[in-house]
Amino acid sequence: MNLIFLGAPGAGKGTQSTVVAEKMNIPHISTGDIFRYNIKNQTELGKKANEYISKGELVPDELTVSIVTDRLMQDDCKNGFALDGFPRTIPQAEALEKFLAEHGKKIDNALNIQVDENILVERLSNRRFCPKCNGTFHMIENKLTEEICPVCGAELKQRDDDKEEVILQRLQEYHKSTEPLIDFYRSRNVLTDVPPIIGMEKAIAATLKVLGIE
Ligand SMILES: [Zn+2]
């Protein structure tokens, strides 16, 4: 089965797609991983991508598509794949569709991993880490009244990515650029909504059920 995982940042689609791929015995393909692989092994595509990345520029759609489709041509993808983090834009989705059609394939299911954004913001913005013992804590769940590590007493810190304004900005970017993909795959009759569920185990179970795997 050829799968795509869509979802807002923090929706847990990385974990979901990894577990589902494992269960289905198909490769989990994250764009981050294949970019790193190509750059580390200095492939032609990796060298090209690095020209943009090293200058802090966005890798053009065409090159990103080449890197992904190159991976999809490998033998282990012949019975299916789980794409995580790609496509991100409509032009990428169209290019992927064209490539698959040329190889007699298509996307069988695009899973829209939904998330309750208020809960997401609450969960991430209350997260703290301890720079001394590396513990991760949640101000409310761990009932912390001050930003002091309950394990070692060091001062807790907040990751930049967990700051509320950063989370809200990423959500806004997601809505603008990636959400149109939901309509794109809906129009192809392959979109499945996975409603927001609290707790990763339950959320994974819901996704497997949607796919008819239990
Ligand atoms: Zn600590």
Average pLDDT, the chain: 92
- Averaged pLDDT, 24-50: 93
Tens-digit pLDDT profile for residues 2-12: 999 998 877 88
Using the mean position of ligand 1's atoms as its centre, give its distance from the Cα of residue 164 in Å. Answer: 23
pTM over the 0.85 mark: no
> Among 49, 53, 47, 41, which Cα is nearest to 65's?
49
Using the mean position of ligand 1's atoms as its centre, give its distance from the Cα of residue 152 in Å. Answer: 4
Tens-digit pLDDT profile for residues 154-191: 999 999 888 999 999 988 888 888 889 999 999 999 99
Q: Which two tokens stand for residue 29?
A: 């393909």
Tens-digit pLDDT profile for residues 186-209: 999 999 998 888 788 888 888 898
Please give the pLDDT value at position 119: 87
Architecture of domain 2-116+178-210: 3-Layer(aba) Sandwich (3.40)
Domain map of the chain by residue range?
2-116+178-210
Residues with beta carbon < 5 A to ion ligand 1?
130, 132-133, 135, 149, 151-152, 154
Tens-digit pLDDT profile for residues 114-169: 888 898 899 889 999 999 999 999 999 899 999 999 999 999 999 988 899 999 99
**Sign of torsion over alpha carbons 131, 14, 47, 63:** negative
Using the mean position of ligand 1's atoms as its centre, give its distance from the Cα of residue 198 in Å. Answer: 27
Q: Catalytic residue numbers? A: 13, 88, 127, 159, 170
Using the mean position of ligand 1's atoms as its centre, give its distance from the Cα of residue 148 in Å. Answer: 8
